[in-house]
Amino acid sequence: MANNNNDFIKTELLTKVFPPIKRGGESLTVFDQVNFSIKKGEFTTCIGHSGCGKSTILNILAGLDSATSGAVIMDGKEVTGPSLERAVVFQNHSLLPWKSALDNVSFAVKSKWPQWTKKEVHEHCLNYLKLVGLTDTYNRKPSQLSGGMRQRVGIARAFAIQSKLLLMDEPFGALDALTRGTIQEELLKIWEQTEQTVFMITHDVDEAIFLSDRIFLMTNGPRARVAEAVVVDIPRPRDRAQMIHHPSYYKIRNHLVDFLIKRSHELSGSSQSIQALESPVTEDGELRQPPNVNPAAA
């Protein structure tokens, strides 16, 4: 993979092997020599079948888990443990149940800026809670909030610490479609204002297209790899209703679905080199032939 100085995050031959679960069992190489990079301010998503190792990769990027071999380099330094430079949002929002929404956010903000006055912390947190639409309910405890509201608190908290990298593991997986759509739009609005770098796991191809600059496609495990990085060349700001009329939309969507149904399995365990993929759509608006599919057999 070409070394690019614009890379903000870079994984170098990242491999994870879990030891056997029981005595005499086999170890599991979940993914093998995974290479990808993310530019500063880029919004990336990662799609792949269940069990290919997406959450494990995210945890390694966060510094919450370590690779068996290989490294994650962020801003020129190797990631060796958790840091406030990297914020994580999980599907189950992970809020402190005894604290109000506001206190959940301010707890994180105070850790990041211990020298700030109470007033500074309060105003900063309220600003982020407002951005996710929680103007009137910030004094409620998590049990008094809906699932969507709890997830909004998690997102406000992650953005409020102004980390350099925001990592999200299926943050909207448990939400109904309407709430999901609204929060996706809020997320994009904050991201556009803060210009943070994002890596997010999703199973939803429409969500990935709506949010991403690039989508990483993972082959099936074991020995999974990031096989492609698909560019979403649909201009921003994006409007969900308008976006589906963009000439690239269905071409990108078909490409992702084809990968998930067919190619993620065909490429599984193969030792072919990683495809540094450009947009699946050519300059003429045609769907680019995946480099590792025999056209005669397609």
Q: Which residues bind ligand ATP (CB under 6 A)?
A: 18, 21, 28, 30, 48, 50-56
Shortest CB 96 distance to ligand ATP, Å: 24
Shortest CB 55 distance to ligand ATP, Å: 3
Shortest CB 52 distance to ligand ATP, Å: 4
Q: How open is the CA angle 193-198-203, to the nearest 5 degrees?
A: 120
Compute the residue count for the chain: 298
Q: Which is nearer to ligand ATP, 48 or 154 (CB)?
A: 48
Q: Which is nearer to ligand ATP, 52 or 131 (CB)?
A: 52
Q: What per-residue string of b and e applies to 133-166 under the rule 16 or more CB within 10 Å gives b?
A: ebeebbebebeebeebbbbbbbbbbbbbbbbbbb
Q: What per-residue string of b and e applies to 204-237 under the rule 16 or more CB within 10 Å gives b?
A: bbbbbbbbbbbbbbbbbbbbbbbbbbbbbebeee
Q: Which is nearer to ligand ATP, 46 or 121 (CB)?
A: 46
Shortest CB 86 distance to ligand ATP, Å: 17
Q: Which is nearer to ligand ATP, 156 or 200 (CB)?
A: 200
Shortest CB 9 distance to ligand ATP, Å: 18
From CA 210, how far away is CA 42, in angstroms rounded? 14
- Please give the single-letter amino acid code of residue 164: K
Q: Which is nearer to ligand ATP, 51 or 147 (CB)?
A: 51
Radius of gyration of the chain (CA): 20
